[in-house]
Structures are given as C-alpha cells and as structure tokens.
Chains A and B, each alone.
Chain A
Amino acid sequence: MTAGRDTGLVRAYVKAGGRLSASRWIDLASLVVAAGGHHPNLGPEQRQIMALLGTRGALSVAEVAAHLELPPSVAKILTADLMDLGCLAAPAPHNAPATDVLEEVLRGLRNLIV
C-alpha cells in the first residue's frame, strides 16, 4: 500500500470536472441517446461518450461506464452534463400504445421460456 493520495480516486475526480455529483438525477439504468446537439468544448471523456452514442441507438449510463471504463459515478456526472448541453437526451417516446412496464417485463420473461 502506497502512502498519500489514491490515484484512482484522484483520476476519477478530475475526469468528473472536480465534482462529486451529477447536475440532475440520473440512474445507472437511465437510457441516453444522441440528441443532435454539438458543443465545441467537450472534455476527452465526454467526446468518447459522444463517439459511443454518436449515431446508433441508446445505451444505459451503466453501459457507457463499462464500455469506456469509467467509474459509474463519473459516467453519471458526464452524461448529466451532456444532457444539460443538449448533446444527449432520454429516448423519445414513440407512438406505440403505452403498456404497463411490469406487465411488459413479465410477458417478455414468460416468452423466453415457452
């Protein structure tokens, strides 16, 4: 064990722009998708997130963290920032009839084993 500061924690803190929490409530299971907005001054990790979500569909914040090897807490802060900037958004609802979420999950699970 080395004395002094822990580099992993310091690195995570720097990546998050020196902040400890996200600007909005965001969950590891929250879905984010590219929103079409562009911002000229994104940090390297934010550019990585935009490259990951650039053109093809949504991912959860947890998947963003795993694919980019970011601590989940940092991924939350960075995706929240990108939502604030209009670069990311939650997926838009479509015209399909709304179904109860528990019903949809239960039906889907049952369909897996029939």
Chain B
Amino acid sequence: MDSATSSSDPHSRLPATVIRSVKILVAGHFGAGKTTLVGSVSEIPPLRTEEPITRVSIGVDDLAGLPAKKATTVAMDFGRRTFGSTALYLFGTPGQERFAPVWDDLSRGALGALVLVDTRRLDASFGILSAVEARGLPYAVAVNEFDDAPHHPPPEIREALDLAPATPLIRCDARDMPSSVHALITLVAHLSQPSGAPQ
C-alpha cells in the first residue's frame, strides 16, 4: 500500500514528497461506472463535492416564455493516487454533460480523459464523446464490461462510436483495480506519444 495512505489521518494529507499534481477525467454517461473506476484506483476513499448552480435555459425555453432559471446541484466524485512527487487526481465528470461550465472547469489543465462506455447504451456515449472532443482533450475509450452486456467486436464498437483510428479502445472491468489501472496506462501511454498530445 502506498505510504500516502495513513490510517491515523482521516483527511489523508499528502506526504511532503508530493509537490505536484495532475488530473485525468473519467467521463461517461450515468451508470457507465465512473465512480466505480475512480474508487478501484484511488488510494483514499473516493470523495464527493457538490456545486450549486443555476442552469440558465436558452433557446426553446426562453422563446416559450418559461421560467429561465432552475437551481440544481452538480455532484462530482474524485479520488487520488500518489506516485513519488506526483499526485494523480481522477475526477469523475458529471454525467449531465449539459453543465458546460463544470466541464470547462474540469477540463482546463487535465492531461486527458478516459471515456467509459457501456455497450448496452452506446448511444448514450455520443454526448460525452462530443463534450470531451469539444474541449480538445486527448482520450481513450474503455468498454466497461458489465456481466449482462452484449459482447461486440472492437471494430464494431469503434465504428458505432465513430472513433479515430489512433484513439485507443480497450475493455475493462471498473470494479477490478488491475483492469482499471490497465485502462489508465493505455490512456497515459497514448498521451505520451506525440500524436496523443493535446491539440
């Protein structure tokens, strides 16, 4: 176990060796397994923040003369893993990709995104992929293998999601630490290649 995890400190403060941090987004539609993956990799119990926001409706709602504001809360789960001088933060993005300011804020400075996909709901991933691409984030796609999910061959998934040839596509079990870590390795290795660098 990592030295960063201390049972005597309920807040798991970082050791003095850690002087920098990076973040990776774990994106996916509701129920795709984001929080599960964050939890299986994190060295601390996953944490949650809640941002009260006012969603200003535009377009149709305004034209219809409906109330334009609706108060709501955007919840975000995250975890941490420490390697030497670096703390890696994994932020589960809010499933509601319509909360653009929250996505903008999370994406700024992020290394990239691991997009979790559930083959039972491939169509639900389009909005997530668009949100990631719109922010210029390099990404890898991980198919979270639910027990009752249909097994499509990778080329079919690639085609269904319209992935670029260079975009890594892997399978993972978000409940399984080595499997989740392997998915992250695939993403970080992709980021390390010149072609995987942010645009």
Contact = CB atoms under 8 A, between A and B. Distances in A.
B47 to A, nearest CB: 4
B140 to A, nearest CB: 13
Interface residues of B, number: 52
B161 interface: no
A40 B135 CA distance: 42
Interface string B88-110: 11010000000000000110110
Contact of A6 (B71, B78, B86): B71
Nearest to B86: A104
Contact of B83 (A9, A73, A107): A107
Given A29-B89, A106-B185, A8 B52 contact: yes
Contacts of A99: 84-85
Interface string A1-24: 000001011001000000000000
A62 B91 contact: yes
B108 A108 contact: no
Interface string B43-77: 00001111111100000000000000001010010
A12 B108 CA distance: 22
A9 B50 CA distance: 11
Given A8-B73, A57-B13, 5 more contacts: A29-B22, A63-B12, A72-B51, A94-B16, A106-B189
